[in-house]
Chains A and B, each alone.
Chain A
Amino acid sequence: MIIRRLLQIALTLAILSFCAFALIALMPGDPIEVAIAGDPRLTAEDAAHLRALHGLDRPFTERYLAWASGLLRGEFGYSRLFAQPVASLLRPALLSTLALAGSALAIALVAGVALGALAASRPRAAPLVDAIAVLGQAMPTFWLGILLIIAFAVTLGWLPAGGSADHGLGLTYLILPVTTLAIANLAAYARHSAASLEATLAEPWIRTARARGATERGVLWRHAFPNAALPILQIAALDAGALAGGALVTETVFARPGMGKLLYDAVMGNDTNLALIALLLVALVTMLATLGADLAQRALDPRLRER
């Protein structure tokens, strides 16, 4: 199963790389046009010479194959925008995004399940949780980020409005982005765990547990939760992958140098090579996260293992 999924991931990346390479050809300005704009003394012959030198006059498929085979040999090339090898940009950006998305996912899951449990166990709280879930899913992430910046950075001055620490973890820089991303994702978990817990609490064996004298809290967490957790985990598995890419907006709002921001800057700055490789890496992380979540689900639910 794992081998088939890994092969699927490789195939998906191959198709994506070709489509994205073709798409990048449609982005405004190739590197030579940018060079011409930057240096008025460049003549038409110089430009043609440069094009030939960098192989930009070659047919599209030939350029793609040359680029893709280089990528497979681990030659990631240079970023024009940052004037650095792409490989050296990717590692810190990836770590930053994983820290952001990972902690946001963990917080969103815990808080979402807690809200769901509240709604399922206290019927009077249910409409409130429902309203939080509807509004949470409707709220644009970047708006929430701006509001948090206005509240905690501009008005109260407690936390930095964005950026990242020069050294170390930079926890103060993480608080607002993680809160933003966690709140944006918590609504779905609250909704699904409320629905799942409510359905489980209506099962006959819950009545049996109550009849045997289990406390309400024991019924909720010991009996209902383990069974209700599986559908919640399924939603989390779907989300885990989307989170890495979804962090793009949060990273842009808070000027956090993660994968999403790197990709966005590369796209905006016409740094085609960096944009392509960043996209492929984000896609790879997304699919690996989905695969990991699927495997975790399989490990927890024996019914899925046979298939």
Chain B
Amino acid sequence: MKRLAFGLALLAVLAIAALAAPFVAAALGHDPFAPDLFARFEPPSATHPLGTDDLGRDILLRLLYGARVSLAVGLAAALAATVIGTAAGLFAAWRGGVADALVMRLADFMLALPALPLLVLLAAADPSRIGLPARGEAAGDVLRIVVILALFGWIGVARLARAAALATLSRDHVRAARALGATEARILRRHVLPALLPPVAVATALSVAGAILAESTLSFLGLGISPPAPSWGNMLANAQELVFSAPWAAVWPGLAIMTTVAGCSLVADGLRRR
């Protein structure tokens, strides 16, 4: 129980910080996107609480705006994965037979493959060739990463949802409902779906953590959210080039990622132990 509360508290602090970004920017009087070449590599001070980066931009503000991007991508990807995964798992368990086999073989196929190299290849593909916004545009980048991460994220949810749905479908109260003449849709909605909630909630918390880590990795590799839009991953890519001139720039984005992911996994642990 302590884990759940602690994890939720961590995530709440991060969410508030992300929401407060414009107010902090107004209070400090800086623009997190505009370079200021007269203020490069400034150490932490009252005007720049965490100092400035190689283009003279305030690191605290970029961290806060980066939180918006990273949290939004993580949440959206995890929610998409949860919806797709729950639907696929429920469908597979309910239909059984060929449909079940197809869904599960697809999951096995994707699980057998090396995830990271495939993510890199997918993220490098040019979406403008199939009529989507090109890489490098902020809104397009976010959508692209969410789609790619959801493409891999649904599998874990689907397996858990399927197992829970299979267990529930063979329980007496479901058979009783069927005997009383309930429609299949009603059985799934009233009797099976609520039983899926606990395992799916755990899977969602874990996939938020996974999605945030994956997004930061792709952005670090230059395949995720492109600069000048800040994300924790691309801030670290920038920081790696500055290890000699500004080693402190590498500390904060990494701490932010670690705190967020640890918060999510504490929530998942807490939910599982309930």
Could you say which residues of chain B place their CB within 8 Å of the CB of A242?
114-115
- For residue A34, CB closer than 8 A to chain B, the reply is no
Q: State the CA gap A139–B261 with chains docked (Å).
A: 8
Known: A140-B216, A140-B257, A241-B112. 19 other contacts (CB 8 A): A16-B113, A20-B121, A24-B125, A134-B265, A139-B254, A142-B217, A143-B253, A143-B258, A146-B250, A146-B254, A155-B247, A249-B116, A253-B240, A260-B116, A263-B121, A267-B120, A268-B222, A282-B117, A286-B112
- For residue B118, CB closer than 8 A to chain A, the reply is yes
Q: Could you tell me which B residues sit within 8 Å of A by CB distance?
A: 109, 112-118, 120-122, 124-127, 129-130, 135, 209, 213, 216-217, 220-222, 233, 236, 239-240, 243-244, 247, 250-251, 253-254, 257-262, 265-266
Specify which of A9, A26, A150, A153 is in contact with B130 (CB 8 Å cutoff): A26
> Are B121 and A267 within 8 A (Cβ)?
yes
Could you say which residues of chain A place their CB within 8 Å of the CB of B120?
248, 263-264, 267
> Are A27 and B125 within 8 A (Cβ)?
yes
Q: State the CA gap A147–B244 with chains docked (Å).
A: 12
Interface band, chain A: 35 or more
> Are A135 and B258 within 8 A (Cβ)?
yes
Could you say which residues of chain A place their CB within 8 Å of the CB of B209?
138
Could you say which residues of chain B place their CB within 8 Å of the CB of A15?
109
Using CB atoms, name the residue of chain B closest to A8. B112
> Are B125 and A252 within 8 A (Cβ)?
no
> Are B113 and A12 within 8 A (Cβ)?
yes
> Are B113 and A286 within 8 A (Cβ)?
yes
> Are B117 and A260 within 8 A (Cβ)?
yes
> Are A290 and B116 within 8 A (Cβ)?
no
Q: How far, in Å, is A173 (CB) from chain B's closest CB?
A: 17
> Are B258 and A12 within 8 A (Cβ)?
no
Using CB atoms, name the residue of chain A closest to B3. A134
Q: State the CA gap A134–B233 with chains docked (Å).
A: 20
Q: How far, in Å, is B225 (CB) from chain A's closest CB?
A: 15
- Given contacts A20-B121, A143-B254, A263-B120, whether A283 and B262 have CB atoms under 8 Å apart is no
Q: State the CA gap A229–B30 with chains docked (Å).
A: 56
Most A CB within 10 A of own CB, among B213, B216, B239, B240: B240
Could you say which residues of chain B place their CB within 8 Å of the CB of A245?
114-118
Could you say which residues of chain A place their CB within 8 Å of the CB of B258?
135, 138-140, 143
Q: State the CA gap A3–B250 with chains docked (Å).
A: 48
Q: How far, in Å, is A13 (CB) from chain B's closest CB?
A: 10
Using CB atoms, name the residue of chain A closest to B213. A140
Could you say which residues of chain B place their CB within 8 Å of the CB of A25?
129
Q: State the CA gap A279–B120 with chains docked (Å).
A: 10
Interface mask (A245-260 → B, CB under 8 Å = 1, otherwise 0): 1101100110000001
- For residue A228, CB closer than 8 A to chain B, the reply is no
List which A263-307 residues lie within 8 A (CB) of chain B.
263-264, 267-268, 275, 278-279, 282-283, 286-287, 290
> Are B114 and A282 within 8 A (Cβ)?
yes
- For residue A28, CB closer than 8 A to chain B, the reply is yes
Closest 9 CB pairs of A and B: A245-B114, A143-B254, A138-B261, A138-B262, A26-B125, A28-B126, A286-B114, A267-B124, A150-B247
Q: How far, in Å, is A278 (CB) from chain B's closest CB?
A: 8
Using CB atoms, name the residue of chain B closest to A16. B113
10 A-B residue pairs with Cβ-Cβ distance under 8 Å, sorted by A, are A12-B109, A25-B129, A27-B126, A28-B126, A141-B217, A144-B254, A154-B244, A245-B114, A252-B221, A283-B117
Q: How far, in Å, is B273 (CB) from chain A's closest CB?
A: 12
Could you say which residues of chain B place their CB within 8 Å of the CB of A117?
none
Using CB atoms, name the residue of chain B closest to A252. B221
Q: State the CA gap A20–B266 with chains docked (Å).
A: 36
- For residue A137, CB closer than 8 A to chain B, the reply is yes
- For residue A100, CB closer than 8 A to chain B, the reply is no
Could you say which residues of chain B place their CB within 8 Å of the CB of A26?
125-127, 129-130
> Are B250 and A147 within 8 A (Cβ)?
yes
- Given contacts A146-B250, A263-B120, whether A12 and B114 have CB atoms under 8 Å apart is no
- For residue A244, CB closer than 8 A to chain B, the reply is yes
- For residue A23, CB closer than 8 A to chain B, the reply is yes
Specify which of A23, A138, A146, A286 is in contact with B265 (CB 8 Å cutoff): A138
- For residue A161, CB closer than 8 A to chain B, the reply is yes
> Are B265 and A287 within 8 A (Cβ)?
no
Interface mask (A40-64 → B, CB under 8 Å = 1, otherwise 0): 0000000000000000000000000
Q: State the CA gap A16–B110 with chains docked (Å).
A: 9
List which A226-246 residues lie within 8 A (CB) of chain B.
241-242, 244-246
Using CB atoms, name the residue of chain B closest to A263. B117
Could you say which residues of chain A place their CB within 8 Å of the CB of B222?
268
Q: State the CA gap A26–B235 with chains docked (Å).
A: 28
